[in-house]
Each structure stands twice: as C-alpha cells, then as structure tokens.
Amino acid sequence: DVPIWRGDNTGVYAAKSGYRWLITEEVLRGLGVAVTTCNRDTSWKNWLAKEFENQSIKDCKLRAITYWAIWHNRNKLYHDGVRETATEVLGFIKAYKIKTTVTRERLKNSCDGRNLAWEPPDNDTIKINFDDSFNQIANCSISGIIARNKDGLIMAACTYPWKNISDPVMAEVRACLQAVTLAEEMGFQDVCIEGDVLTIIQKLRAANEDRSCISSLIKEIKERGCGFRRLSFKHIPREANKAAHAMAKH
C-alpha cells in the first residue's frame, strides 16, 4: 500500500500543505461545514460543484464566504507574510456574514418604506441625474445627463462619449463630472446632483481627501463645486434614476 496525503490533490505531503489543511479543517469545523476532499481523479471544478449540490441557499452562501475567506487568508500569507490563525479567520467570516445580513435587511426595510420614483427638487434647485453605460471591450463609456426643475420640466439634457475608460467606476465618476460641467455651462447656481452608485456619492460628500484611483477626478469635482451657490450630492436607488440610465444606453 502507498500512503496518500489527502490534504493536497498531488497526494504528496508537504509542511505547507499540512499547515493549510489544519487551518482549513479547523475553520470548516468551527462553522459546522462538512469537511470533504478532492482526490487526484477529480477536478477541483467538479468537486466544488458537488459541494454546492443539494444545499440550501443559506448553506451555499456560508460555503461561498468561507472558501473566499480561506483563499484570502492564503493570499495574505503569500503576499504580505501575514499568517492568521483559524480563530481569526472564523471571526472574520462570522463578522462578514452578519454585516451582509444587516445590510440586506436595512436595504429591504429602506426600499419597502419609500417611493422609488424620481422626486422633484425643492424651490429653485435644479436636480441633475447622471448615469453611464460602459463598454469593457472597447474601453469606452457614454454619460447620460438630465437636469430638471421642481415641476419636473427638463432644463437641459445631454449624452457624452468617453474614451480610454478602464472600469465602471471610472465611467461613473466621468458621468458625474459631466453633470457638473453641464450645470456650469447652463449657469445653474443651486444644484443637487444624483447618482445611483453609492461609492461615488460617499467620496464626494466625504470631508477627508480621497486616495483611490479616481482621486484626481473626485478632487476636481469638489473644487469646481465651489463655483456654485449651493451644490449637493445625493445617492438614489437605480429605479429612481431611469431617465439618466436610458439616456446613457441610447
């Protein structure tokens, strides 16, 4: 008989794979997830598919978070030299699971209790909605901008093409910049700019300096905002941004 190490699909024991197996097994057992292995005759894709077969949605979500956290832990060890214990990985998984559950409930409760249609601005404020359509293959995007007053009348609208756009986030912030440009060109002074990507709106409303890959554009938008009597940024659900979304698509 030839001894086979089940902690690696090569069947050969190594100290590194032994440590990984111990951490993985302890994490899975701590969450009550059944421990199974992938033998040398089975591809990892088929093994992973079987892991999710006949499982409830709740169990599938837990497994997905767990496998992702274990994979992330191994990457941290490889790239950063940080070795987390099974207890730390378990804590991260449980905290992440709670966070996603709470966020989902908040969104559900919020959406159930409010009107998801576009809402007109107050008084003389002009509300400008922006959205974008991003083409990953061509690395380009189209911004859709629409400005309306308190009566819902369209004061201005435009679409604008952008080239050399690397990702959807860049496309969205470019659309926001175009909304500011439109407000300047039209001479609007009291402006509320709305978008459906929370990350962008949070960055624009934050007092601290942004340090992300779109920091230069965030800074430019904030600086140009000083030219208005009043400029605010508001996040809205996608359902309330249909007009700008439709413009960006056409």
Tokens at residue 214, please? 């779109």
Examine the domain organization and report whether 144 and 85 are in the same domain.
no
| Element holding 141 (H helix, E strand) | strand 140-148
Residue ranges making up the domain that contains 60 = 15-112
Q: Is 177 exposed, middle or buried (0-12, 13-18, 19+ CB in 10 A)?
A: buried
Beta bridge partners of 129: 146, 194
pLDDT greater at residue 56 or residue 136: 136
Q: Which of 43-57, 90-104, 130-144, 185-199 has the lowest mean pLDDT?
A: 90-104
> Residue 228: what residue type?
F
Q: Which of 88, 112, 136 is the last residue of a domain?
A: 112
Decide: 128 and 182 in contact? Cβ < 8 Å: yes
The answer to whether position 8 is within a domain reads no
Per-residue pLDDT, 32: 78
pTM: 0.55
pLDDT greater at residue 21 or residue 219: 219
Tell me how far apart the alpha carbons of residues 13 and 8 are, in angstroms, rounded to a whole number.
7
Tokens at residue 54, please? 């006949």
Q: Which of 98-107, 108-117, 129-138, 172-181 has the lowest mean pLDDT?
A: 108-117
Report the chain's terminal Cα–Cα distance, integer Å: 68
Q: What is the mean pLDDT of residues 228-244?
A: 92
Question: How confident is the prediction for the chain on average, in pLDDT?
Answer: 81
The answer to whether position 6 is within a domain reads no
Percent of the chain whose pLDDT exceeds 70: 78
The answer to whether position 5 is within a domain reads no
The answer to whether position 4 is within a domain reads no
Decide: 173 and 134 in contact? Cβ < 8 Å: no
Q: How far is CA 180 from the centre of its chain?
A: 24
161, pLDDT greater than 80: yes
231, pLDDT greater than 70: yes
Per-residue pLDDT, 109: 60
Q: Which of 112, 145, 167 is the last residue of a domain?
A: 112
Examine the domain organization and report whether 94 and 142 are in the same domain.
no
Examine the domain organization and report whether 131 and 90 are in the same domain.
no
210, pLDDT greater than 50: yes
Examine the domain organization and report whether 91 and 205 are in the same domain.
no
38, pLDDT greater than 80: no
Domain count, the chain: 2
The answer to whether position 197 is within a domain reads yes
